[in-house]
C-alpha cells in the first residue's frame, strides 16, 4: 500500500487540548470541575451565588453573537441534515457568507 510505504497511515495531526474552559454558572458542579482537571484543563466557571468573573462577559458576547449570526440561516437553526459532515458544510458556508457580507460593508 502506498500509505504504508510513506508512513502516511501513522501520521496524524496532534490533538490540541485547551488550556482553560470558560463556562457560566450552569456548569458549576464538582463533577464537571473534576473531569476538566483530570484532563489537565483549567476550569474557569462562575460559582452559583457569587459575583461573575470579571471580563468573562466580553468573551461570552463573542460566542453569543456568533450563534445569533448563524441562526439567521434557518437551515442551521433547525438541523435538518442527518449527516454531521453535511451540517458542518452548511456551517462553513454560513460562516463564509457572514464574513463576505461584513467585508462587503467595509469596502462600500
Residues 6+ apart with CB under 8 A from 9: 1, 3
Alpha carbon distance 45, 26 (integer Å): 9
**What percentage of the chain's residues is helix, strand, coil (to nearest 5)?**
55, 5, 40
Length of the chain, please? 108
Nearest to 53 by CA among 22, 30, 29, 26: 22
pTM here is: 0.49
Each residue's pLDDT expressed in tens, for the chain with a length of 108 residues = 444 444 455 667 766 888 888 887 888 899 999 999 999 999 888 787 776 666 667 777 777 888 888 888 887 777 777 888 888 888 899 999 989 988 888 877
Alpha carbon distance 60, 92 (integer Å): 21
Here the cell at position 54 is 470579571
Every domain of the chain and the residues it spans? 16-53, 54-108
Residues 6+ apart with CB under 8 A from 14: none
Amino acid at each position: 500500500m502506498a500509505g504504508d510505504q510513506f508512513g502516511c497511515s501513522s501520521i496524524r495531526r496532534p490533538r490540541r487540548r485547551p488550556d482553560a474552559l470558560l463556562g457560566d454558572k450552569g456548569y458549576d458542579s464538582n463533577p464537571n470541575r473534576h473531569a476538566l482537571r483530570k484532563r489537565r484543563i483549567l476550569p474557569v466557571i462562575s460559582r452559583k451565588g457569587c459575583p461573575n468573573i470579571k471580563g468573562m462577559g466580553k468573551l461570552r458576547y463573542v460566542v453569543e453573537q456568533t450563534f445569533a449570526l448563524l441562526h439567521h440561516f434557518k437551515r442551521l437553526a433547525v438541523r435538518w441534515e442527518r449527516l454531521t459532515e453535511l451540517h458542518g458544510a452548511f456551517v462553513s458556508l454560513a460562516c463564509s457568507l457572514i464574513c463576505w457580507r461584513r467585508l462587503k460593508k467595509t469596502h462600500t
